Amino acid sequence: MADAKVIPFDDDRSRGGAATPRPGRRRPLLGGTRRRNGEGAVSPLPGPQAAGTASAAAPDGPEEARGETAGGRGGESGGAARGDWERRIAGGLAFLRRRVTGEYEVDEFGYDEELTDQVLMSLLRPLYENYFRVEVKGIENIPSEGGALVVANHSGVLPLDGLMMQVAVHDNHPAGRHLRLLAADLVFMLPVVNELARKAGHTLACAEDAERLLQRGEVVGVMPEGFKGIGKPFSERYKLQRFGRGGFVSTALRAGVPIVPCSIVGAEEIYPMIGNVKTLARVLGIPYFPVTPTFPWLGPLGALPLPTKWTIQFGEPIPTDGFPPEAAEDPMLMFNLTDQVREQIQHTLYKLLVQRRSVFF
């Protein structure tokens, strides 16, 4: 198999700067279509003579006329559906050919945009749309171009909230932007997860990688609570943990990009964590070993998340481009901005919790 082509990091195809924003996800239209003439315009209605000819050739009974019309429309609809399936099959075969021959591109971080759009997002979308039924608010607060740092709360035992946030940006942003998540070291130590994370655009949660992505004009997502957020007990749900030392604020200040707070409601209840077997966690080398009402009692079935109703809200962006370059080294400024972001996320969480009718509906 041939090697994939690597995109230079300063390639003009970046989505920042002068890049042309990608359109949002488009769904193919099924059903009947109107016939068009050879130049692509809608065929004109028949004139008087044609109308007379059509009338003379029409069947005598209304039943026959209705049957003939229905048959014609059914034929058009069937032809359109067949054409749509043919296009899908042709596109799928072309995709497989590019994967086999290595005629696809990845950037320096291993991000494979084509694989993400056509495969990974398609696998996550049923979970996003039908299982968690995610409702997105404030997507317009993410800029249409240029870099932005999305800061969100973290919860749920498994980091499904990051993946759902990625689908939310990909499918709902008017400019079709992609979210590049910063992930913990553990993600890149797991054999299969490591490759999938790289292909989906995730990278190590370090200031250097984050700053390079932001300066390139990417939308970067970070969850400062880390394992403290997803591993907290159910009794502390929706109570934000410490946001580290404010490293994400320093990165945003250096890159001069806005900080977009993001609040996620619904993820806390997918795995209600009622216990933590710390000894077993240390033996396995993982941050925690969760005990939920269904896991490990039901075995693999207990790993199935509860079908809660999610809401993801992107808040008003906090600009950072007005600060001087040396502001990134000011600990008091970083503390104040970190506290401002944390308070905005926490306040929005409480507001969303008051508004929701039920955990599952």
Q: Which helix (H) or strand (E) holds 260?
A: strand 259-265
Q: Which of 156, 160, 120 is nearest to 25 (CA)?
A: 120
Contact 215, 13 (CB under 8 A): no
Asked if the bond preceding 296 is cis, omega within 30° of 0, the reply is yes
Query: Whole-prediction pTM value?
Result: 0.76
Give me the pLDDT at residue 74, please: 52
Region 31-41: mean pLDDT is: 37
User: Distance between CA atoms of 303 and 289, rounded to whole angstroms?
Assistant: 12
Contact 214, 220 (CB under 8 A): yes
| Per-residue model confidence as pLDDT tens digits over 62-86 | 444 444 444 455 556 667 778 788 8
Highest mean pLDDT among 11-20, 33-42, 247-256: 247-256
| Per-residue model confidence as pLDDT tens digits over 283-320 | 999 999 999 999 999 988 999 999 999 999 999 999 99
Q: In sequence order, which residues have a C-beta less than 8 Å from that of residue 132 and are 6 or more positions away?
A: 164, 266, 270, 307, 308, 309, 310
- 204: amino acid identity, one letter: L
Contact 217, 196 (CB under 8 A): no
| Per-residue model confidence as pLDDT tens digits over 167-204 | 999 999 999 999 999 999 999 999 999 999 999 999 99
Read off the DSSP letter of residue 42: B
Give me the pLDDT at residue 77, please: 64
CA atoms within 13 A on the CB side of 255: 28
**pLDDT exceeds 60 at position 231:** yes
DSSP characters over 196-255: HHHHTT-EE--HHHHHHHHHTT-EEEE-TTTHHHHTS-GGGTT-----TTSHHHHHHHHH
When mean pLDDT is compared across 49-63, 325-339, 344-358, the lowest value belongs to: 49-63
**pLDDT exceeds 80 at position 32:** no
When mean pLDDT is compared across 81-95, 212-226, 287-301, the lowest value belongs to: 81-95
